Amino acid sequence: MSNSPAYTPPAVWTWNKENGGRFASINRPISGPTHDKELPVGRHPLQLYSLATPNGVKVTVMLEELLALGHAGAEYDAWLIRIGDGDQFGSGFVQVNPNSKIPALMDRSGPEPVRVFESGAILLYLAEKFGAFLPTEQPARAECLSWLFWQMGSAPYLGGGFGHFYAYAPTKIEYAIDRFAMEAKRQLDVLDRRLSESRYLAGDDYTVADIAVWPWYGALAKGQLYEAGEFLQVQEYTHVLRWADEIAQRPAARRGRMVNRVSGQPASQLHERHDASDFDTRTQDKLAASGG
């Protein structure tokens, strides 16, 4: 362990705006909007406000998978929310998600708009709405929901824990990195053991559980998250790698990963999605080539 002086918490915690690292400008201990800004509304029944973080990718993959099954009602507009610029604190976004986190969904297909926030809730809502990617019979349904909620409970340890202290924290803290690296590897081992006995998380069929877990742990296992593949020795988790590669070959998963993406190769970035043809005409490489 390092010889850094021990930290003694004060009697009363106070917010130090300068001590937030990369996300200091958007993290704060209060909720609510910081500015007035209405959200745009497109022509489709489903309006998604998001960014291609792992939590955002879950929902765009789900929507693309539903469309691939022929569910025309799953057509959607995906509007880009730049969280680094604080878009999630606009008044319109806060009305859809009072927690000011992406993704957020408005379903305008019925007589009254329905808001849905929290990525797991959105996946479950869409699965039930369209009757897809969620088993209807037990015990498969219970297995699927267990893995879906496992992901929702485990991701804060991976993203807010390991990812923050390993990749984003202004100071590298040995204890914090060790603690969360251990937990990240334990979670990968949980998945690897399950996938050693099952093609997908809930059994033989691809479900919302796989859609939820893949953008986090699939990306981690493939070295695409936090550039931590070597550090965590992800090659050990051969069953997770097999599963991650299989999902990555799905055309809908590839499309979903592109939507609202603002990093990586220009050909992988579709900042906003309003029509299926946008994948062919509106990626950043095509816009640059056309001068658009």
Helix (H) or strand (E) holding 119: helix 119-130
Cα distances (angstroms) measured from residue 35 to each of 32, 93, 104, 149, 186? 9, 10, 18, 33, 41
**Predicted confidence (pLDDT) at residue 6 exceeds the cutoff of 90:** no
Strands 76-80 and 46-50: parallel
pLDDT number for residue 27: 84
Structure tokens at 178: 């060790």
- Whole-model pTM: value is 0.95
Read off the pLDDT band of 7 (50, 70, 90): confident
48 closest CA partner among 110, 116, 135: 116
pLDDT number for residue 55: 98
Q: What is the largest CA-CA distance in the chain?
A: 63
Q: What is the pLDDT of residues 93-135, one digit of tens each?
A: 999 999 999 999 999 999 999 999 999 999 999 999 999 999 9
Q: Classify 6 as helix, strand or coil.
A: coil
Query: Token pair 């055309």 is at which residue?
Result: 251
Q: What is the pLDDT of residues 143-191, one digit of tens each?
A: 999 999 999 999 999 999 999 999 999 899 999 999 999 999 999 999 9
CA distance 160 to 165: 8
CA distance 138 to 50: 33
Instruction: Tell me the residue type at 6.
Output: A
Q: Which residues, listed in sequence order, are joined to residue 90 by a DSSP beta bridge?
A: 35
Interacting residues of 227 by C-beta distance below 8 A, sequence separation 6+: 167
| 106 and 96 Cβ atoms separated by less than 8 Å | yes
Q: What is the pLDDT of residues 17-73, one digit of tens each?
A: 766 667 767 888 999 999 999 999 999 999 999 999 999 999 999 999 999 999 999
Interacting residues of 72 by C-beta distance below 8 A, sequence separation 6+: none
Read off the pLDDT band of 291 (50, 70, 90): confident
* Spacing of C-alpha 101 from chain mean position: 11
**Predicted confidence (pLDDT) at residue 259 exceeds the cutoff of 60:** yes
